[in-house]
Amino acid sequence: MTKNTTEKPPVSLLGLGAMGTALARAWLTAAHPLTVWNRTAARAEALGAEGAKVAGTAAGAVATSGLVVLCLLDDESVGATLDGVDLTGKDLVDLTTTTPAQARARAAWAERRGARYLDGGIMAVPPMIGVPEAGGYVFYSGSRELFERHREVLAVPVGTKYVGEDAGFAALHDVALLSAMYGMFAGAAHAFALIRREEIDPVAFAPLLADWLGAMAQGVHGTAARLKSGDYGKDVVSNLAMQVAGTPTFLATAEGQGVSPELIRPYFELMRRRLEAGGGEEDLTGVVDLLLR
Ligand code: FVH
């Protein structure tokens, strides 16, 4: 019998939550033979109707393909799902959000079970999957050889960025970016609270806020350059002494608007500490070092 050489590499996907389902649809759309498994079987039914093979057990899904992708709630659910499953010779790609330490431990665990392991951190929400122009991607870390072997298949649902052999690096990049995102949302929440009781349309205010945050976000390049060189006074535009002098205005405005300063005060406190340590001619870069324990 002649093998169909145009057949795409098969994929087994464990976990059909919002993200897993979106990933599954992208691989199905690209005509990859796809086997799916989910703890709650009903969540696999629609995908079965769309062409996926539905495995009755996690072991069955793992046995079907060399490439096994996991997209589960957390690291604990990965352990529970693969408990007792034969992983010998399998290439595991774990897209579940974990800590860097959990990813490293999971890589060592997989190796002991005879599998190869690549960790992933998804920088996208489900509607961005299968939509290249949405700009989503997944950080990957662990075996570079494994990443290169499956690069094309992994790039089907969303972009890929390989960040190193250390299996914990994908999770670290993921959590670092998401942490920055929460800081940004915290700032935006404070800004909306300041205008909340005024006759200012939040819908008209939003583009002003988004454009300002976008412009200021470019400042991270200067921060990175100063962290790398160690010269925190280089190319400073707005020095720390001036910025700390302005913080009472921000706190008084919050007070005047009846807004709690609980989101911004801790950051102002770090700025003040850096100033008192002699960082007046620097910008905000020195705050990074104050956070290191
Ligand atoms: N959705 C998002 O916006 C974010 C975007 C960035 C990346 N995250 C991470 O992706 C992982 C999966 O997220 P999800 O959105 O698919 O999550 P859920 O819709 O809540 O589905 C969870 C799946 O995990 C299964 N599951 C939970 N516990 C267990 C367990 N003990 N054993 C086996 N499977 C388990 C659950 O199964 P079921 O409840 O349907 O039976 C779902 O398949 C996640 O790490 C995000 O942080 C998503």
205-233 pLDDT tens trace: 999 999 999 999 999 999 999 999 999 99
Q: Residue 131: its pLDDT value, please?
A: 97
Residue 1: pLDDT band (50, 70, 90) is: very low
Across the chain, the runs of DSSP E, i.e. the strands, are: 11-14, 34-37, 53-54, 67-70, 91-94, 116-123, 137-142, 159-162
How far apart are alpha carbons 169 and 139 in whole angstroms?
A: 8
Question: Which among 16, 19, 69, 93 is the best mutation to test ligand 1's pocket, defined by most ligand atoms within 8 Å of the CB?
Answer: 19
> What's the 150 CA to ligand 1 centre distance in angstroms?
23
Q: Computed from CA positions of residues 107, 112, 117, 121, in that sequence, does the dihedral angle turn out positive or negative?
A: negative
Query: Atom 44 (ligand 1): residue with closest C-alpha?
Result: 73
How far apart are alpha carbons 41 and 54 in whole angstroms?
A: 9
Domains of the chain, residue spans:
3-172, 218-290
Q: Which atom of ligand 1 is nearest to the CA of 39?
A: 41
Q: Which CATH superfamily groups domain 218-290?
A: N-(1-d-carboxylethyl)-l-norvaline Dehydrogenase; domain 2 (1.10.1040.10)
What b/e string do you get for 95-128 counting C-beta neighbours within 10 Å, with b at 16 or more?
bbbbebebbbbbbebbeeeebbbbbbbbbbebeb
How far is CA 268 from its chain centroid? 27
Backbone angles phi, psi at 77, to 5 degrees: -70, -30
49-85 pLDDT tens trace: 999 999 999 999 999 999 999 999 999 999 999 999 9
Ligand 1 neighbour 43 (Cβ under 6 A): yes
Question: Which among 16, 36, 72 is the best mutation to test ligand 1's pocket, defined by most ligand atoms within 8 Å of the CB?
Answer: 72
Domain 3-172: which CATH class?
alpha beta
Ligand 1 neighbour 4 (Cβ under 6 A): no
How far apart are alpha carbons 264 and 191 in whole angstroms?
A: 10
Q: Residue 5: its pLDDT value, please?
A: 52
> What's the 123 CA to ligand 1 centre distance in angstroms?
15
Q: Which atom of ligand 1 is nearest to the CA of 72?
A: 24
How far apart are alpha carbons 232 and 105 in whole angstroms?
A: 36
16-39: average pLDDT? 98
Taking CA atoms, 20 is separated from 26, 27, 42, in Å, by 10, 11, 14
Is 3's pLDDT higher than 60?
A: no
Residue entry with tokens 């800081």: 183
155-214 pLDDT tens trace: 999 999 999 999 999 999 999 999 999 999 999 999 999 999 999 999 999 999 999 999
Ligand 1 neighbour 18 (Cβ under 6 A): yes
Ligand 1 neighbour 85 (Cβ under 6 A): no
Ligand 1 neighbour 15 (Cβ under 6 A): yes
> What's the 127 CA to ligand 1 centre distance in angstroms?
15
Name residues whose C-beta falls within 8 Å of residue 36's C-beta, 6 or more positions apart in sequence.
12, 13, 14, 16, 20, 24, 44, 47, 48, 52, 53, 54, 55, 61
Structure tokens at 53: 């093979």
> What's the 147 CA to ligand 1 centre distance in angstroms?
23
C-beta neighbour count of 64 within 10 angstroms: 18
121-151 pLDDT tens trace: 999 999 999 999 999 999 999 999 999 999 9
Residue 2: pLDDT band (50, 70, 90) is: very low
Backbone angles phi, psi at 131, to 5 degrees: -125, 85
Structure tokens at 61: 């899904």
- Share above pLDDT 90 across residues of the chain, in percent, rounded to a whole number: 98
Structure tokens at 87: 């992983």
Ligand 1 neighbour 79 (Cβ under 6 A): no
> What's the 80 CA to ligand 1 centre distance in angstroms?
13
How far apart are alpha carbons 55 and 66 in whole angstroms?
A: 15
Q: Residue 33: its pLDDT value, please?
A: 98
249-264: average pLDDT? 98
Is 249's pLDDT higher than 80?
A: yes
How far apart are alpha carbons 117 and 165 in whole angstroms?
A: 11
How far apart are alpha carbons 14 and 195 in whole angstroms?
A: 45
Ligand 1 neighbour 122 (Cβ under 6 A): yes
Ligand 1 neighbour 175 (Cβ under 6 A): no
